[in-house]
Amino acid sequence: MSSRVGMGFDVHPFADDDKQLVLGGITFDGRGLAGHSDGDVIVHAVIDALLGAAGLGDIGEHFPDTDERWRGADSRALLAAVRRMLDERGWSVVNVDCSVVLDAPKLAPRRTEMQEQLSADVGAPVTVKGKRPEGLGALGRGEGIAAWAVALLDRP
């Protein structure tokens, strides 16, 4: 059996328009994140972790922000496409672990919902942890949200 680990990262500033805030595939109240797609930093970090573990590059190679097909895209649809890529190459996801840096919204009240949604999308356990930036830098000033993810894949 062959195992590989991948790490993903994403960061987006808050949008100036009426975009909905989507995190981990779940819609939250509050200002959305700027981005070519829906700006879901958690799903984007998961995608990069999965692609990296499989040696398939990164989200920008597969879903470039210069391609209008992806404007306003649901990040969960992109994640489903990545899952198909992994399946076609014989990879199975063992687990994914995510850390999200933000002050608001609070993730804890919806953490279980996010984890269940992401676990169903990935086909393996996904954990999500919220971390406060403690006033440091752009994230501490509430200018955006960042997420990291680590994925473990196996292939017989």
pLDDT digits (tens, 9 = 90+) for 33-73: 998 899 999 999 999 999 999 999 999 999 988 888 888 78
* Domain 2-155 coded CATH 3.30.2320.50: no
pTM of the model: 0.96
Ranges under pLDDT 50 in the chain = none
C-alpha 128 chain-centroid distance = 10
Q: Given this model, what pLDDT does residue 68 score?
A: 82
Q: Given this model, what pLDDT does residue 67 score?
A: 82
d(CA 46, CA 8): 6
d(CA 106, CA 111): 9
Q: Given this model, what pLDDT does residue 73 score?
A: 87
